[in-house]
Amino acid sequence: MKYLDEYRDPELARTLIESLRRRRFDRDARLMEICGTHTVAIFRSGLRQLLPARIQLISGPGCPVCVTANEDIDRSVWLAQQPGVTITTFGDLLRVPGSSSSLHVERSKGADVRIVYGSLDAVRIAREHPDRQVVFVGIGFETTAPTVAAAVRTAAAQGLENFSVFSAHKLLPPAMRALLEAEDLKINGFICPGHVSTVIGACAYQEVVDNYRIPCVVTGFEPLDLLQGIGMLVEQIESGKAEVANQYRRAVSWEGNVAARRLIDEIFEPVDCTWRGLGVIPRSGLRIRERWREFDAGSRFSMPAIQVREHAGCRCGEVLRGVMTPPECGLFRKVCTPQDPKGPCMVSSEGTCGAYYRFS
């Protein structure tokens, strides 16, 4: 498989691992991957077991489903319960439990909840069903926000009055700053997300490096990508440097996708946002701007105040902050499984608990 096998070459992998083992650390290197796809790729390739003991990989808040706050799940459930409303969203979100229900449960009760593979599918459904209000529940980071912005612009161009977006989108750099300011978490370097970085560019991490003196390396998703990225981080830590480096240059540029960033900025504006496990982070969410407010589900529907309740015993918040691993949670494998998840980290295909369950 051209362009794939090259990144899985076992001899090159052994060379990179041996190079890491020969390094002499004077302290542990705690490296956080802030991308759910990285978390799964690390498990799938067995890298944790191959690295020297002093290199610790910590999973962070990089799964968009997992960081969606309970209150946003509850509001999505409330929307699904309204007569004449069709909810559209990505499949992973359906089974995430809110305070008392989920979109999956509401669908089993008769609500019109549909899985789509992109936000433009939701626009098509709105066009085909003018008698219903079609709400797209938008989750994700800077990677998916441009596509949702394009959907809003498309709906406007088509004159659709029955399409809106419930925006629960989030921005990653503010979350990185929040993690670094937490007292209970020590991070020596970030394995920065490849997907998000294609949009925001490697330059987005310069502020983190400048303000916190933490090395950041944008990394791809194949085993050799990850090993090389880890090596680049360790090299900086050993030499006392803190820089933004880009291992994933075949996909990520310094400035990112300028057109996509302009599209996000045209439709959305940053707002304070609640993250599961991290609380409210200033200017870390995306709200539809006033100009496009007719496509904002939060404005179109008068949502009541909802009493939010977390599931007793669920430790997803601490897992997302990297202060504990899934096996340390009392529910893990006992009452919380992929078949009956109690928290989002077990639901999502990119969730840390789900990855531990499948691969450890």
pLDDT, tens only, 77-103: 999 999 999 999 999 999 999 999 999
- Predicted pLDDT of residue 186: 85
- Predicted pLDDT of residue 325: 93
Measured CA distances, 222 to 10, 33, 156, 218 (Å): 12, 14, 39, 13
Q: Is the pLDDT of residue 2 over 80?
A: no
Q: pLDDT-derived band of residue 247, with 50, 70 and 90 as boundaries?
A: very high
Region 255-264: mean pLDDT is 98
- Predicted pLDDT of residue 183: 73
Q: Is the pLDDT of residue 56 over 80?
A: yes
- Predicted pLDDT of residue 50: 93
Region 274-286: mean pLDDT is 95
- Predicted pLDDT of residue 283: 97
- Predicted pLDDT of residue 160: 98
Looking at the chain, the whole-number percentage of residues with pLDDT higher than 90 is 86
Q: Is the pLDDT of residue 184 over 80?
A: no
> Whose CA is closest to 93, among 65, 127, 128?
65
Q: Is the pLDDT of residue 109 over 60?
A: yes
Region 176-203: mean pLDDT is 93
Q: Is the pLDDT of residue 310 over 80?
A: yes
Looking at the chain, the whole-number percentage of residues with pLDDT higher than 70 is 99
More confident residue, 307 or 191: 191
- Predicted pLDDT of residue 122: 98
* pLDDT tens by residue, 121-164: 999 999 999 999 999 999 999 999 999 999 999 999 999 999 99
Please write down the HEC assignment for all residues of 89-116. ECHHHHCCCCCCCCHHHHHHCCCEEEEC
Q: Is the pLDDT of residue 1 over 70?
A: no
Handedness of CA 92, 180, 318, 167 (dihedral sign): negative
Domains and CATH numbers, the chain: 25-63+174-246 (3.40.50.11750), 65-171+256-300 (3.40.50.11740), 315-359 (no CATH)
* pLDDT tens by residue, 196-223: 999 999 999 999 999 999 999 999 999 9
pTM of the shown model: 0.93
Region 171-182: mean pLDDT is 94
> Whose CA is closest to 355, among 68, 41, 33, 32?
41
**268-275 and 279-288 strand pairing:** antiparallel
CA dihedral 221, 225, 230, 235 (to 10 degrees): -150
More confident residue, 5 or 196: 196
- Predicted pLDDT of residue 45: 93
Q: Is the pLDDT of residue 4 over 80?
A: no
- At residue 330, the 3 state secondary structure works out as coil
CA dihedral 1, 223, 220, 137 (to 10 degrees): 90
Q: Is the pLDDT of residue 280 over 60?
A: yes
More confident residue, 37 or 1: 37
